[in-house]
Structure formats: C-alpha cells, structure tokens
Structure 1
Amino acid sequence: MSAPAKPARAAEILYLLVAAFFLVYLLRYYLTGLGGPTLLAMTLVPVAFILFTLDSLRTNALYPRLGPLANQVIAGVYVAVCLVVAVYMTVEYEAIGTVRAGIFSWTDLVIGTLMVALVMEYARKKYFALFVLNVLLILYTVYGWLVPGLFGHPGLGWTRVLSAMSVEMATGVFSRLPQLALTLIGSFMLVLSALRAFGCVDSILKAASRVAARSPHALPQAAVLGSFGVGMVSGSGAANAATTGSATIPAMIASGLPRVNAAAIETASSLGDQLMPPVMGISAFLMADFLGRSYFDVVARGYAPALIYYAGVTVSVYLVAGRYRARTGAVSLAERISFSDGINLLAYLAVVAGLVVLMAVTGLPAMLAALRVFGWVTVPLSVIFVVTTYRTYRSWDLRRLAAPFRELVDGFAAMTTELTLLLATLSVMTGAFVITGIPTKVGFIMMEAAGVNLVAMILVAFVFGAIVGTGLPPAPTYIITALV
C-alpha cells in the first residue's frame, strides 16, 4: 500500500466505525426513546460533523487545495472539537436546560459557539447560498439599527445571538429541526438504506428499463418509470437523478435524443421525488412538524399532486420522444430479471404497502412504522443474500458477505448526516428570524394586504415563496415561507 493511500484507508476505517456507532445509537433511541430528542441532538449533531469530516478526508474533498498532511491535521482538530462538544453537551444536558437556562455560563457559550462555527463551515462548503444568507442574518441581528423602516430594530448583543444559535434549544443547532432529521426522517432513511444496500433500487431501474425498452419510442419513459418507483422510497431528487440518471441518460443519448433533452427528462422525472409518497421530500417532514400533524396526514394529501405531476411528465416525455422517433435506434438498456431481482421487487412493494398500511390502517406513528418495516424487510433480505451468495460461490468470504451491510451503514450515515447538518444550518437561519421578529413584520404586511383583498395576500405569499425558491432548495424555502 502506497504512503498516500494509508491515511485514506485509515479515514475509511474510522468513518465506518463512527458510522456503525451512529447507526447503533439511533437504533437504540428508536427502540427505547431514552433521553428524548434534545439529548439525542446534543450527542449526535457533533458526531454527524465527525462523519462529514471523515467522509471528506477519505475522498480528498475536505480542502483539496491543501496538502494531505494539512487536511489530516485540520480533520483531527475538527474531530477533537466535536468530541469535546458531544461529551460536554451530554454531561451538562440537564444543567443547561434547567439550572442555567437563560443564564448560560461562558463555557456553555464557548462550547455551543464552536458547534455553530463548524455547522457554518459545513454550510460554506456544501450550501454556499445558505452560508451567505446566515451570515447576513446574523449581521442583521446585531446591527439591525442600521436598517431603516419597518425592518429596523435596536440590535442584539453578540452574547444573546450566540446563545440563541447554540445552547438555546428552541432556536439553536440542537433545536427541533436537527432533532427531526435524527428521529423521524432518520427512521425512513433506514428503510431506503436497506433497499439500496441489497440492490432493490437497481432492480427497480432494471424492471422500469425492461418495460420501457419494448419500444424505442418509449425508451425515455424508463427515466420516468424508474424515478417514479425510486421516488416512492427516496424523497430526494438529487439522489434519484444520480441513481437513475447514470443508466437512463446514456441510453437516451445513444438512442438519438439530444444530450440536453436527455438530461432534462431525467431532471424533471427526478424532481417528482419531492412529491411522491410514502417517503416524500424533506419539506413534507418539516410541514408535518410545523403544522403539528402526523406525517401520514401530509402523505395522504400528497398522492394527487404527485400522480398529476408524473402524468404531466409522462405526456411531455412522450411528445418529446416523438420528435426524434425517426432517429431513434433500437437501443435496449433492459437486462433479464433474475430471481434476486424478483425478491428485491417484492421487498420494495412490501415497503411501500407496509408503510401505507401501518400508518393509515393501524395508526402507528410514522417513526415506528418505518422501523418496523425496516426490520421486516432487512431480516429476510439478509438471509436470502447470505444463502444465495454461499450457493453461488461455495465459500464463506466475509468481505463479500459483509458488502451489503457495510453499504447499509455507509449509506445511512451519509444520508442522515447530510440531513442533520443541513437542518442544523437552517436552525441558525430560523433562530435569526425568530429573535429579530421578521416573521411578525412580514405577517403585518400580509395582513395589510389581506385588508385590501384576500387574493392579494395569497399573491404576496406566493410571490415571496417563488422568489426565495429561485435561490434556495425546497427545505429552506418552506421554512422561510412558513415562518413569515
């Protein structure tokens, strides 16, 4: 093994160990609920940043312009800071929430601010628009007296701002939003991770391709069918595009479709993931939390717009494909459906049906429904995988047998870490909104508009959301629009 490869290998091993701890800790919480969601966030938000750091280090994406040694030193500092934050917040949890609530010590503020700084660094690297927005909001919070008119305010001290962003559990980086990522959303990520790890998502794409490839004219519909199927258990347009697009876009280009059209078809198909139940986009989870309703109340109302959306995309793709039918060759991306694919498709159908039945018929809370479906699907898939692998290779190769379980741990940690840190970033934004009174002021403007005409108020809210949505992802767009 070469010298540069050794640190990457070490980062890989450390990442998997921390990811396994992350998964086990969350499973323990899902089964017992010990400590509550606030303590869970105080413990695991720093762990999520450790996972982000180690993942960036193993893929040489931490600070690519710096040398390997500098990256390792910086990663070591980040990990050490996160460990200090996690231990301190866990040990001092009760004192911070009760004894010192409102009169936080300097140690509380320093430790909390360190976590805020790390979350902001994550935002700078991954969501630069959110980073800039948060910086501007923090400056506005402190120097509000410089802003004229309705949105001006006397300004708040840095101590008040930092406490609101960190150790105040209603608005800080340990608040309701990252708690939601670790609890409700995380439980659904378990199900998606299991389906991906055992190849169910690949089997969905294979089945969609098999259907679409019956006719060259229908070939682009593989993107729509695949995205529709994956969207039921994904909820992420970007992940869907990366998964299905790797197979469908090259096939569409090879069949004669222009590159722009092929990419547009996949993009439009994948965006439906945000709408498609039973596992909808992150905004649906936020909506349920903001409205104080169960997640299934949102899911039940999501089927109609999702089906309408995909029907529109299907017709549009059909019309676009018709323009290039004369140039479309008999390109087939269909593969034979194997026995394991059949098992995977049954598991996929069991997940979709199980989630709907448990949430709609039995009234089981969404997190428990997802956890139960995860167990029902993972255990049989694990047994079938071990048996078929042994029968195929006639050996107990531990590396081969452990591959899907490693992918499950890796995939779950990656997705849940991403969502946790994103929502922690959004918590900084919501904290700035709340403590400066922006929602109240915008609400006043909307009430004035409603006094003139109710339609005018709706139009103002719609235009505001549309403008915000042009530069931000769905989750922060929903939060900002809902707050104001």
Structure 2
Amino acid sequence: MDTQSERETGPTGWLRGLDISVTLVAVLFWCVVLWWAYTQNWSTVKYAVLFVGGIMTVYALNETRESLEEGSWIDALVLLPSAGVLITASFYFFVNFETVYLLRQGFATEHEYMLARLIIISLLYLTWREFGNLFLGLVIGVMLYAMFGDAVPGVLGHAGMSQLTLLQATVTDLYGFYGSLTQLTASWIAPFLLYAGLLFAYGAFDLILRLAIVAAGRIRSGVAQTAVLSSAVIGSINGSYTANAAMTGSFTIPTMKESGMSGHRAAGIEAVASTAGQVLPPVMGASAFVMASYLGVAYLNIVVAGLLPAAILVVSIAIAVHYTAISDTSNQDMEFSEFFDDPLSRNEKIAEALRFGIPFGVLIYYLGFAQFTVMTSAMYTVFAMVLTGVLMPPFQRLVDSSDASPVSEFVTQVRNTVHGFRRGAIILAPIAIILVVISGVVNLFSTTGVPAKIALLMINLSGGILLFAVLLGMAVAIVMGVGMPTVAAYVIVAILIVPTFVSEFGIAEITAHYTMFYAAILAGITPPVATAAVVAAGIAEANFWRTCGAALKIAAPLFVLPVAFVYNPALITMSPGLNTLFVGLMVMLGAVSIIYGLNYPFRLSLGNLLLTRAALAVLGVLIMTYPTALAKIAGIAVFVGVFVAEKVMVRGLSLPFTKEVKQ
C-alpha cells in the first residue's frame, strides 16, 4: 500500500508543486512590474530584458503543468529547455547590461552569439506552440528574406545580411526581440492586463453579464444581445478573437441554442462579437497602447478617436443580431435567473458598483485629467483595484450584519487577489511571446528597408488609385491576421502599409492607423480560414461555411468601415465636434442600410428578396463611403423611404426593438 509521501511525490504531487510554482512566480513577477512602474530605477531596455525572462518563466511552468495533466511528457521536455534558454538569456543580459548594451553595439562574443541562436530557436518553438504553423512560417520567412535578400529579384531585393548581423539585429544589440514593442508590452500593456486579471478574479465579468441580462430582458432579442455584449467586452481585454470565441462561446453559444436559435447562427453571432470586441475602447485588444506609441500621442486621444467607429460597429451588429434572432423564431424570452445562484440585493449592487467603479474612476482621473503616463495610471488603478477588491466585501458584511464572517471574507478576497495576479500573468504570456517575436520582425523590416519597398510596390499595383490601395492594404491585413492576436496583426500592417498611405496618398496618420487596425481583425470571420468562426462552429457543432455566411451577414459593415474611414476623415479624429457626429450619423445609417438589407426577414418572393437585399446593401455601401454629404443624404432618404414603406405597407407600424409590456 502506498504511503502518503509516496503519493505526494507521484504525478499528482508534481502537478501540485507546479501549480503552486506558477502562482508564486506570477505574484513575484507582478511585484517586480509594479515596483519598476513606481520607481523606474532601471532603463526601459534593461527592464524589458528582465520582463521577458519573468513572463517566460510563468508561461513555461503553467504550460508544463497543463502538458503533464494531459499526459504529454514530450511537450514538457521540449518546453522547459526552451523557456530555460530565454530565462538564462534574460539573466545574463540583465547582469551584463551595461557591457552588452553600451560597450558592444554591433558585435558580440562567441558565447553570446551561441546564446542568441538558442534564443531564436526557443522563440520559434514557443511561437509555433502558441500560434501554429502559419505565423511560424511568416517569422522564418522574414529571417530568410533578411539573410538572402540579394537573391530576391525586383523591387523587394536588398543586399542581404550575414548570420552574425541577423543575430545582432534580433538579440545581442538588445534591440530586436528586446526592442520597442517588447518595452511597450512590459511598461504599458502588462499593468493593464494585471488589472484585467484582477477584474476576472473579483467577479467583474459576472457583474457585466448580470447587467447585460438586465438590459437584454427589455428587448426582443435578449439572449443573443446578452451574448454579444458579454463576448465583446471580454474580447476587448482578451486581445485574441480566437481565444475569446473559445472562452465566452462555451457559455453564450449553448445559451443561444437553448433558446431555439440554430447552431450556425449562434456560432456566427459569437464569432462576430469576439471579433468586434477587439476594437472596443478603452483597451482595444491592447492595440490602443501600440497605436499611441507609434503616433506619439496620449493614449486617451487614441481612445477618443475610436469611440465613434466602435459605436457605429456596435449599433449595426446589435441590429443585425436582433433581426437574426427574430427571424430564427427562437424563444428570446427565456428565464435568466437560472444562470446565477443568488440575485443581488440593492446594497450588494451599490457595493459592487463602488468596488469596480472607484478603480475605473482612478484610471480616468489619472489618464484624462491629471495627464499621467499610461504606465503610472495603470499602476494606481491596480493599487485601487486591490484595495477595493479586498476591503469592500468584508466591509459590506459588517454593514449588512450577515452571517458570513468579515475575516473569512477578507481571507477569501486575498486569495482572489492572488488568483488575479496569476490570471493576469497567464493572459499576458501569449501576448508577450508574439510581441517579442514581432519586435524582432519589425527590426528586420527596418534594417532591410521593407516599408519603402512595399510603398513602391503598392503604388505600382494600385496605379496610384486610393480605393485600390486601400483594398490591397485590407487584403494584406487579412492575410497577416490569420491566426494571430489582433495587436500582432495590427503591428505588422502598421509597419508595412500605413507609411505608404500617409506619404503617398496623403491620408492622416490617425486615419491610416485605424483603417489598418480595423482591417487587421477581419481574418477572424473571413473564409476560408476564419479562425473565430472555426472555433465557434466547433462549439456549436455547426457547419463551418454556414457559420461564416451568418457571420459575414451580421458583420458586413465591418468590411466597409476601413474604406469609409479614408473617404470620411472626420470619422477618425482626436478632437471630435459637431461635424464628426454628423458624418458619423450618416455613416451609421449607411451601415444600418446594409444590415437591414442583408438580415431583415422580408416577406417577398425569392427574386424580389435577392434584388431588395442587394440594392439595400449597395446603397448602404455608397452611403458609408461616398465622400459628398449631399449624396449621403440622398441615399439615406431612399433607405428611410424603403424602411417606412415596408413597415406601413407590409407589416403595419411597429417599433422593431420594443416588445409589448404585459400589465
């Protein structure tokens, strides 16, 4: 018979040890991040070197634990050495930072070159492990292009570089993999993802779901709208439409199917919601921070510029989902109370609002009014979140005189805080991996002069016509975005495409960046890859192509918005005024025309139905993209006329979103 000690040293004991190690290392990692944010005792480059080692340690331990749980010993045996190389490299470069970074730029010792080779191999493995063959092929292709550019014919050819030059550009000069994007991740993105981890741990997203259900209970398409709101909000923080479709879809899709909605439509709604969430302010899938860095403007300005486009997208998707739900004859009046163990009392609602509202108010104050840096604002927000997250529930127990002990509640919230630290590190790890790799790719692009070559190539292919150039840029963004987190896809097109739009076509920088940012998320629902749709269809056990069709109908305006930005510059501005709102309203009505045409359950014969849908969709595209206000107004008048005529002549006047209130 096995003794207790023998059982604890078996596989279960190892797993428990790894699980505890993940938590301890995550807490230590965040303590270092917050300490640096408060003191900034090291340079950003030196801090980034340590940051990479810390987050790779968390990633390695957590993934090893999961691999062992699944019985994949080979994966664990490969993963640990790969992460060990990156941890060792971070320690070496951190300890010898002044020598390596200040005294040996442009050359390195032989053992540093060997370490650099191991770093590249390890990062390639982690990239493949986390993001698959396609992105791995892109990174390897860029490296081969950098080395053998002299063999590339035409405008894309360059002088090439030696292996040692490649190692210097990516590793030993401490640019490349430790360059600007890695530094941005370490200083700006990481604290916000810690905030997100704490929100998860303290139950903020449960509160969001409750609020969504309350709001959705007042409209006819309640279940579907709840799914859209919860998935989009969480997706904004998650940073990956594919991962978000898996995470939130596991709840929203079965709920929609239970209400009577067909599987492919439920999957299509989830895929669209997860994809659209990537552009929702204030986080925008972490891309807002990168955009602010590239443009050299305040982060809050980027958020302000993104509010109106996001509103247009959200309104159009909400209407499309409404039409989809009512056309599916699903029971959207199902009882929601079954999803929660206990309803919140009035005092509990107030306490929860204060618990999460105070830290958010701290964030708004420091960013918007005090004009502190993103990093400092996020740091104070995290401090406020920990204070309210830990102290408010015990205080509420004292006020309510409940049976639960305030001390036990305090201990529970401290435990939740530790879980939040762990959750934040696990959320951050994949984003850090891909941004470290992309940072190296960007440095190789700059070294080889690729952006200038792409500019010349785009001018040649588009013939200097703006519309063709935008469509070409969107196509590149879709290809680059396949299987990648939003921020990574955006970074690549921001480096390759945006400079051409600005220098050759005279598009404002903020407009060019938002155009490519919106285009970068399209890969999630664009067949034949459509990774968000693949995941959602799998959960729904639905046909992939029917899921893509449903998603494309719901998100059709998303494919038009990048073009609309270019031809309506007032849409994207850091100083919105009445003209911005006027143009935004017209573009929104154009988006609604597309949605109405493609999704409304018309009572027409097949021929007339197809003609009506096509005409309204084309009309909506013209309203959204045509630059002249008079033409937009004329198109809107036609759409309103069709809308009213259908209501009066076919169905009788009734508001599409209200449902009869029973007395």
C-alpha spacing 1:243/1:233, structure 2 compared with 1 (3 Å): same
**Cα distance, 1:467 vs. partner?**
3.9
Contact 2:390–2:413 (CA<8 Å) still a contact in 1?
Answer: no
**Cα distance, 1:214 vs. partner?**
4.8
**Cα distance, 1:28 vs. partner?**
0.5
Are 1:15 and 2:17 matched, yes or no? no
Are 1:145 and 2:153 matched, yes or no? no
Secondary structure in structure 2 of the residue aligned to 1:302: helix
**Cα distance, 1:102 vs. partner?**
1.0
Contact 1:190–1:374 (CA<8 Å) still a contact in 2?
Answer: yes
Other-structure match for 1:248: 252
Given residue 60 of structure 2, which amino acid in structure 1 is its aligned partner?
A: T
**Cα distance, 1:247 vs. partner?**
3.2
Are 1:358 and 2:366 matched, yes or no? yes
Other-structure match for 2:643: none
**Cα distance, 1:111 vs. partner?**
2.3
Alpha-carbon distance in 1 for matches of 2:238, 2:149: 41
Other-structure match for 2:392: 384
Alpha-carbon distance in 1 for matches of 2:348, 2:244: 22
2:49 to 42, 51, 54: 42
Are 1:413 and 2:425 matched, yes or no? yes
Alpha-carbon distance in 1 for matches of 2:465, 2:219: 53
Alpha-carbon distance in 2 for matches of 1:43, 1:220: 44
1:191 to 184, 191, 195: 195
Secondary structure in structure 1 of the residue aligned to 2:174: coil
Are 1:175 and 2:183 matched, yes or no? no
1:373 to 355, 365, 381: 381
Alpha-carbon distance in 2 for matches of 1:371, 1:293: 20
Contact 2:53–2:91 (CA<8 Å) still a contact in 1?
Answer: no
C-alpha spacing 1:483/1:229, structure 2 compared with 1 (3 Å): closer
Aligned sequence identity (%): 25
Are 1:278 and 2:299 matched, yes or no? no
2:454 to 428, 434, 442: 442
Given residue 110 of structure 2, which amino acid in structure 1 is its aligned partner?
A: W
State how 1:253-264 maps to structure 2 within 5 Å. 253-264=257-268
Q: Aligned pair count?
A: 480
**Cα distance, 1:229 vs. partner?**
4.6
Q: Deviations over 1:51-79 (max 9, x none)?
A: 111111111279x6743xx5565455345
Contact 1:253–1:262 (CA<8 Å) still a contact in 2?
Answer: yes
Alpha-carbon distance in 2 for matches of 1:446, 1:188: 36
Are 1:478 and 2:490 matched, yes or no? yes
Alpha-carbon distance in 1 for matches of 2:413, 2:483: 44
Other-structure match for 1:54: 61
Q: Deviations over 1:287-335 (max 9, x none)?
A: 1122222211211101101111110111001101111336556342564
Unmatched 5+ stretches in structure 1: none
State how 1:226-375 maps to structure 2 within 5 Å. 226-230=230-234, 236-238=240-242, 240-242=244-246, 244-325=248-329, 330-333=334-337, 335=340, 336-338=343-345, 339-340=347-348, 342-375=350-383
State how 1:419-438 maps to structure 2 within 5 Å. 419-438=431-450
Unmatched 5+ stretches in structure 2: 1-6, 497-663
**Cα distance, 1:240 vs. partner?**
4.7
Contact 2:239–2:285 (CA<8 Å) still a contact in 1?
Answer: yes
Alpha-carbon distance in 1 for matches of 2:257, 2:441: 42
Given residue 160 of structure 1, which amino acid in structure 2 is its aligned partner?
A: T
Q: Deviations over 1:56-108 (max 9, x none)?
A: 1111279x6743xx556545534543442122111111111111111222222
Alpha-carbon distance in 1 for matches of 2:439, 2:374: 23
Other-structure match for 2:169: 164
Contact 1:116–1:173 (CA<8 Å) still a contact in 2?
Answer: no
Alpha-carbon distance in 2 for matches of 1:28, 1:326: 52
C-alpha spacing 1:329/1:340, structure 2 compared with 1 (3 Å): closer
Alpha-carbon distance in 2 for matches of 1:469, 1:233: 18
Are 1:92 and 2:96 matched, yes or no? yes
Contact 1:224–1:310 (CA<8 Å) still a contact in 2?
Answer: no
Q: Deviations over 1:161-213 (max 9, x none)?
A: 1121112233x111111111111011211221221111111111122123323
Secondary structure in structure 2 of the residue aligned to 1:115: helix
Contact 1:120–1:131 (CA<8 Å) still a contact in 2?
Answer: yes
Greater relative contact order (Cα < 8 A, sep 6+):
1
Contact 1:278–1:352 (CA<8 Å) still a contact in 2?
Answer: no
**Which shifted more, 302-311 or 216-225?**
216-225
Contact 1:234–1:279 (CA<8 Å) still a contact in 2?
Answer: no
Other-structure match for 2:637: none
Given residue 146 of structure 1, which amino acid in structure 2 is its aligned partner?
A: A
Are 1:123 and 2:127 matched, yes or no? yes
C-alpha spacing 1:75/1:314, structure 2 compared with 1 (3 Å): closer
1:209 to 207, 213, 217: 213
Alpha-carbon distance in 2 for matches of 1:272, 1:352: 22
Given residue 5 of structure 1, which amino acid in structure 2 is its aligned partner?
A: T
Q: CA RMSD in A?
A: 2.8
C-alpha spacing 1:331/1:48, structure 2 compared with 1 (3 Å): same
**Cα distance, 1:215 vs. partner?**
5.7
Contact 1:182–1:416 (CA<8 Å) still a contact in 2?
Answer: no
Secondary structure in structure 1 of the residue aligned to 2:177: coil
